């Protein structure tokens, strides 16, 4: 049955909850396998309670298929009292890094943080791997495909910091400039929620709010970015 349509439809865009990417010595875990740590589980549960208390009901829930997004989505659904099977859209996978050991020491900081500083050149590579432009080339068509479907009014996307920035950049810059403009300075805290409304016209985006963290909305202690934190963790073992 086709969902009831309003003037615009609502996209809730989440980043997965917190995970542990490095051990205490700075040795990386395989990023495709990491699950939520206790803080990440609490963040996902808090997001689910916020949706439930607001009476938000989802028609569809979409993840990238990586364990940290699937677990976040399932915890959100449980905490909000909704029985929906999350979908997997693999093209919404996080921007892919290369081999950390192959990055020269002097290039490490830039490799970690360069994709998330200001307006980022599309050729900028993330950890020596995928470029920002290559990521946008797979993410933006997926969003267009989602918008073309008429079977939802409210959707939850549980994705990743880089992918979320690509979607928010598209919404803020429009379909012409947004195809090439990547706003890397848009903070995406673990477990955060963004809200975007979309109309039928490809240019019809309304960004309602960005980086809302139900467990701590004022974020008083946040002064560094996720990639700055990960760089410091990795540097211990380099």
pLDDT band at 158 (very low <50, low <70, confident <90, very high): very high
Element (H, E) at 76: helix 67-80
Give the pLDDT score at 178. Answer: 56
Residue 180 pLDDT > 90: no
Spell out the long-range contacts of 204-208 with Cβ–Cβ below 8 A and sequence spacing 24 or more: 204/8, 205/170, 205/171, 205/172, 205/174, 206/8, 207/168, 207/171, 207/172
Phi then psi for residue 145, to 5 deg, are: -65, -40
The three-state secondary structure class of 92 is: helix
The predicted model gives 203-232 an average pLDDT of 95
The pTM for the full model equals 0.94
DSSP, collapsed to helix, strand or coil, labels residue 213 as: coil
Structural domains of the chain sorted by starting position, each given as residue range(s) with its CATH number in brackets: 12-235 (3.40.50.1240)
> Whose structure tokens read 């081999």?
99
Strand order across the 193-198 sheet? 87-88, 60-63, 154-159, 9-15, 193-198, 205-212
User: Can you give the pLDDT at residue 186?
Assistant: 97
Q: Which residue has the higher pLDDT, 6 or 39?
A: 39
Ramachandran sector of residue 216 (left: φ over 0; alpha: ψ -120 to 50; beta: rest): beta
- 175 pLDDT band, cuts 50/70/90, is confident
- Tell which residue, 154, 153, 150, 95, has the closest CA to residue 127: 95
Per-residue pLDDT at 50: 98
Q: Give pLDDT tens digits for 40-66.
A: 999 999 999 999 999 999 999 999 999
For 101-138, how does the pLDDT look when each residue is reduced to its tens digit (9 = 90+)?
A: 899 999 999 999 999 999 999 999 999 999 999 999 99
């Amino acid at each position: 049955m086709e969902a009831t349509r309003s003037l615009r439809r609502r996209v809730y865009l989440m980043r997965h909850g917190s995970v542990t990417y490095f051990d205490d010595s700075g040795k990386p875990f395989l990023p495709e396998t990491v699950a939520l740590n206790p803080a990440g589980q609490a963040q996902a549960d808090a997001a689910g309670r916020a949706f439930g208390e607001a009476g938000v009901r989802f028609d569809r829930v979409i993840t990238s298929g990586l364990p940290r997004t699937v677990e976040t989505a399932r915890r959100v659904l449980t905490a909000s009292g909704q029985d929906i099977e999350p979908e997997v859209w693999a093209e919404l996978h996080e921007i892919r890094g290369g081999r950390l050991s192959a990055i020269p020491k002097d290039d490490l900081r830039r490799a970690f943080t360069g994709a998330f500083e200001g307006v980022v050149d599309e050729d900028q590579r993330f950890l020596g791997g995928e470029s920002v432009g290559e990521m946008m080339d797979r993410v933006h068509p997926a969003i267009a495909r989602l918008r073309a479907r008429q079977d939802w009014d409210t959707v939850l996307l549980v994705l990743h910091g880089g992918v979320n920035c690509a979607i928010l950049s598209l919404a803020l810059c429009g379909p012409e400039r947004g195809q090439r403009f990547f706003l890397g300075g848009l903070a995406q805290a673990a477990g955060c929620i963004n809200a975007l409304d979309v109309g039928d016209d490809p240019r019809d985006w309304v960004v309602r709010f960005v980086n809302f963290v139900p467990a701590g909305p004022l974020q008083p202690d946040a002064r560094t970015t996720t990639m700055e934190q990960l760089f410091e963790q990795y540097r211990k073992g380099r």
